[in-house]
Every structure is written in C-alpha cells, then in structure tokens.
Structure 1
C-alpha cells in the first residue's frame, strides 16, 4: 500500500544515533525534531498568507498558479488520482511529493504553505522520524531529476490524531506539519498555496481540484510518475452522511472533515486513491487558489467518495507554528 503505512506504528519512537533524534511531546502537539547544533534551527518562520497572489519570489504572497488546469471541468462526464488527467506543476506549484526511506512503497502528497512549512495528513507521516522523510517540490515527473529535494527538520502531528490504517483509519485531526531544514526560493513551479479563513465553508458543488501521484485505477498497484489532477465537487454533509458508500463502512465523518466526488448513479469513478493522501484539495477564489482540504481517505474503493480534512478548522493550530 502506498499511503498510511506508517500509521500502523503504535507510537512515536527514537531513531538515529548520538541523540540526534529526539521525540518532543507537549499538550499542543507531538513532534520529532532534529536536535542539531545549528542555531538556524532554533526557531522557524512560516509565511502563511491568507491574501492573494503576486510576485512568485514574494514569500508573503500565495495561491497563484502559472498554468490553467488541464483536467475536464466538474460538469464533464469524461473519464480519463482515478479518472484523472495529467497535470502541469505550474498549475499547482504548492504540490510536493513526500517519500519515506523506511518504507520503499510509501509516498504521499503535501502542500507548501510557507518557505519552510509543508501541510500534509497525519496518517502519511505518523511514526516517522524527520531523517526518514524527504520532500520534493517543483517536479511534475517524480522519476526524473527535476525540482528541489528538501530534508525534514521536524514532524508535527496534531495531538487529537489517533492513528489507524485501512478501515480503522482515524479521520479526526488527520493533519500534520513538516518543517524543512532549508527554505524554498519561490518560482513559477514552487510557491505557497493560500489558507482559508477560520471556518470558511466549502460550498456544496463548488468546483475544486485534487492533485497527486497516486494510482489511477483500482486494479493497479503502481503509482503514476507524472502528476495528476481531477476536478471534484464538494458534497454537503447531509448528502455524504446518507450516501450508501459511506454507510457501508465503519468510518464516521466529523465536524472537521468533508466529502467530495460524484453521485454513484453517474458511475464516473473519479476520486483520490493510494499515494494521493496528504495532497491538496484547492478551490479558486477570484484569481487565488485556497487550500480547502487535505486528502485523507477514500471509500469504499478508489474513485468513489473522497474524504478530506477541512483545513479551515485548523487555522488556529497552524498559526501556532507561523512564528
């Protein structure tokens, strides 16, 4: 399985030698941290912006893409993540690829929200030490030596996350932050996505996009090497709760999650899948893209209902690490 494999860990563990890795636990978060002697890592700053885009080198701007999506619109019945289209990294310059050295088949997605800060899902990095993770940005094809490769300095898991895998995966507080060793230089292929405002509602039926390198059909075990994109309309909570596909599982939506996808009657088979977890779900507001969700899980199989962590419910938590 390409995602969530680290979520089977029963807890955080010490790794490394000479005390290089240290587990830090507080009332606010669980965090792995590289305990080096470099004073640069005493603190970090996240330039997480809630404003509109601008100069791609400006660390206070966000949410501007440099190419239009190539995927069919949400109203299209075309079937080409599952049912997706090839994407350009210029369309989604905040998308990153997260790889674990501990599990060769584990990879996830994530979103740049600051020059040193990545937002992803907790089930992607739960139990993983920073020196086991790498982040690649500015790349469309992960099999090629393009983009920027970054090492991780700190892994911060939301304290309410309970872990789990498969049908036992925890949907609540499925959110995590990765602090990088170094800062990105923003460009047309690398920049931050804007965050929503606190409790900003995703409008039912609003055309939004999910992106990632996950598998594109249920029968496949191989991920895509090229970034994929798909338009997925959000689904209202009452409609999702009553959907037979959700009721066939033991998963329960929380106030911090939402669904996106298409009615089962349409038979479109479009949605997130293995390898897409942790990646962005963005909606366009004017000329600015906002990170409305984090790919959390899919039910009951790939290309059906897609479940996302509602980023707007965690703005206060994210803000704890902005300075």
Structure 2
C-alpha cells in the first residue's frame, strides 16, 4: 500500500507520478473537501506510467503517469490547465504553490488523520546548478524548489502534489512532486510537465 497525490487535468483524467502507479493494480482517488475525513472517493483500475520511468538515488527520471477514472469528477473540483506556451515553465526563481493534506503530525509515516486539513505553501524554483548541489547530475526535465525562509517543505504522502504557477493570469500546472526528503527536512524534486504534454494527451485521449 502506498499513498500520495495527483491533480485533475480533465473530468476523468488524473495526472500523478509514475512511482505511485508502478506495482499496483488499482488506485483510489479521494476528492471534494478540504477536510480529509469528508472526502468522496472513486476507484480506478486503468493507469499508464511513462515507458521510460526509472527511479534514481537522488531523483526519479520520467516520473509521470495518468490514471483514467471510471466516471467524471464534477462539482466543486475543477481540472487545472496544462502549459500551453513555448515559455519554459516554471521559470527560474518563480514562486509556485503546493497544496496537500497535512500528515499525522505525531508520526508522518502513519499518513493522514480524519481531521487533516488542506494546506498550501509557496516554494521558489532554483537554477539547475543550485539544484545539482543537492541532486547531482539532475536532468533538464526535473527541477527543484524550496523555501529557505519559512522552511515550508513536502513530506511523506506528498509525491504527486501539483506545483502550480500563475502564467498570464491562469493557474497552470508546471510540475509534480517526485521525490521528497525521508525526514521531511530537505529539498524536493519535481517532474516538469511541459516535456510530457504530447504523451499525456495521447494516453489520456485529450
């Protein structure tokens, strides 16, 4: 059993990381409330992970996947926009928003409690040479983002969390959380969305 996050990009299409798909035959998606114990759920048995996905010591490569839902999610949950620009997103030193449920504060490895609430933080994207100090040989389709001021961070259960930027007035999905620090006290890496747009649209029939 594993758990993490994902983001709706169409009423029946959830984008997440391949590391949450590989090795499993079904996926339960919870949605619709900012309180964990009040979420609705739907289970899918159809998912695709990127054919070139591989895990690494410091970061994962091509860590992206698609879960197809049996029924569309409608109501108070809206799909997010994918990047539709030649501008490379996220840009260096751009601030992005991450949103996920807080884990069990006493023991993050135990996951979420029924009263866990949705929280947001803002992280800054740093250039590859800065990322490489923590993640040697980091590739172009992977970026790192962190907050050294408030020390906001990602933790257990946060893989697949969306990294969202505002591009020309539109909330746009720029990345997905790929690797987090085991101790929840270090920097995280993200899969950049733009290089995979064609693959996403093909497997999701968008």
TM-score interval, smaller chain: 0.7 to 0.9
The question of whether the paired residues in 1 share the 8 Å contact of 2:43 and 2:69 is answered with: yes
Deviation at 1:219, TM superposition (A): 6.2
Per the alignment, residue 169 of structure 2 pairs with 287
CA contact (8 A) 1:214 1:274 kept: no
> TM-score, normalised on structure 1?
0.57
Tell me if 1:175 matches 2:64.
yes
* 2:83 corresponds to 1:201: no
Partner of 2:43: 151
The answer on whether the counterparts of 1:162 and 1:170 sit within 8 Å (CA) in structure 2 is no
| 1:154 positional shift | 0.7
Secondary structure of 2:180's partner?
A: strand
Q: In the alignment, is residue 135 of structure 1 matched against residue 29 of structure 2?
A: yes
Q: TM-score, normalised by structure 2?
A: 0.86
Q: Structure 2: state its 5+ residue gaps.
A: none
* Superposed counterparts of 1:246-265, under 5 Å: 246=134, 252-263=137-148
CA distance 1:218–1:160, change in 2 (3 Å): farther
**Greater C-alpha radius of gyration:** 1
Q: Establish whether residue 232 from structure 1 lines up as the match of residue 123 from structure 2.
A: yes
Once the two structures are superposed, residues 77-104 of structure 1 have per-residue CA deviations (whole angstroms, 9 ceiling, x without a partner) of xxxxxxxxxxxxxxxxxxxxxxxxxx2x
Asked if structure 1 preserves the Cα contact closer than 8 Å seen for 2:92 and 2:127, the reply is: yes
Aligned length: 201
C-alpha distance 216-285 of structure 1, shift in aligned 2 (>3 A): farther
Stretches of structure 1 lacking an aligned partner (at least 5 in a row): 1-102
Which residues in structure 2 correspond to 1:30-49 (within 5 Å)? none
- 1:222/1:294 CA distance change after superposition, 3 Å: same
* 8 Å CA contact 1:296, 1:308 repeated in 2: yes
Find out whether 1:272 has 2:154 as its counterpart.
yes
Partner-residue secondary structure (3-state), 1:109: coil
Question: 1 or 2, which has the higher strand percentage?
Answer: 2
- Give 3-state SS (helix, strand or coil) of 1:107's partner: coil
Task: Quote the Cα distance in structure 2 between the aligned partners of 1:214 and 1:252.
Answer: 31
Q: Relative to structure 1, is the Cα distance of residues 306 and 216 closer, same or farther in structure 2, using a 3 angstrom cutoff?
A: farther
CA RMSD of aligned residues (A): 2.3
Question: Aligned match of 1:121 in 4, 14, 17?
Answer: 17
1:140–1:227 Cα contact (<8 Å) kept:
yes
User: Do the aligned partners of 1:135 and 1:151 also contact (CA within 8 Å) in 2?
Assistant: yes
Instruction: Kindly state the Cα deviation for residue 262 of structure 1 after the two structures are TM-superposed.
Output: 2.8
* Separation in structure 1 between the aligned mates of residue 165 and residue 5 of structure 2, nearest angstrom: 17
